[in-house]
Amino acid sequence: MKALPQISEAEFEVMKIIWKHAPISTSEITKRLTQTTSWSPKTIQTLIKRLVTKGVLAYEKQSRVFIYTPLIAEKEYIGQKSHSFLERYYNGNILSMLSAYIEEDKLSESEIASLRSLLLKDSKDRRN
């Protein structure tokens, strides 16, 4: 797995908008983020430029408008972040992580039921 660029929490907020709505213009990104954050349009433009520099975003100029598309899939980025979190805090042992979450009541009954369902489905899929 190739290492993906590190992005800040603020840059991640920008990426969530782009992943959900790509291809998307600068003005549309700005409009959506100013509804949910206190960031100025200039701050948002700076974050977008950083993401382009880091190789996470591509852009195309259409007339006077810049249109952005992600170069990294959301699932790929989140998967790598999850893996690094697991390695860093639980020595790569998912059972340790789940045990800690369950013991500390960080998982609700419905989340535990969902996990149980996923495990049962995976178990059935592997047998077939």
pLDDT, tens digit, for every residue of 112-125? 889 889 888 877 77
Task: List, for residues 84-102, the tens digit of each pLDDT value.
Answer: 777 778 887 888 888 888 8
Residue 36 scores a pLDDT above 70: yes
Q: pLDDT-based confidence at 128, cuts 50/70/90? A: low
Domain check: are 13 and 62 in the same one? yes
Residue 61 scores a pLDDT above 80: yes
* Mean of pLDDT values over 50-69: 96
Tokens of 43: 């701050």
Domain check: are 79 and 122 in the same one? yes
Domain check: are 64 and 78 in the same one? no
Domain check: are 31 and 18 in the same one? yes
Residue 78 scores a pLDDT above 90: no
Question: How many other C-beta atoms are found inside a 10 Å radius of the C-beta of residue 119?
Answer: 10
Q: Are 26 and 11 in contact (CB under 8 A)?
A: no
Q: What pLDDT, on the 0 to 100 scale, is given for residue 17? A: 97
Domain check: are 85 and 118 in the same one? yes
Query: What residue numbers bound the domain in which 20 lies?
Result: 9-70
Domain check: are 19 and 42 in the same one? yes
Distance CA 43, CA 99 (A): 40
Tokens of 50: 């950083």
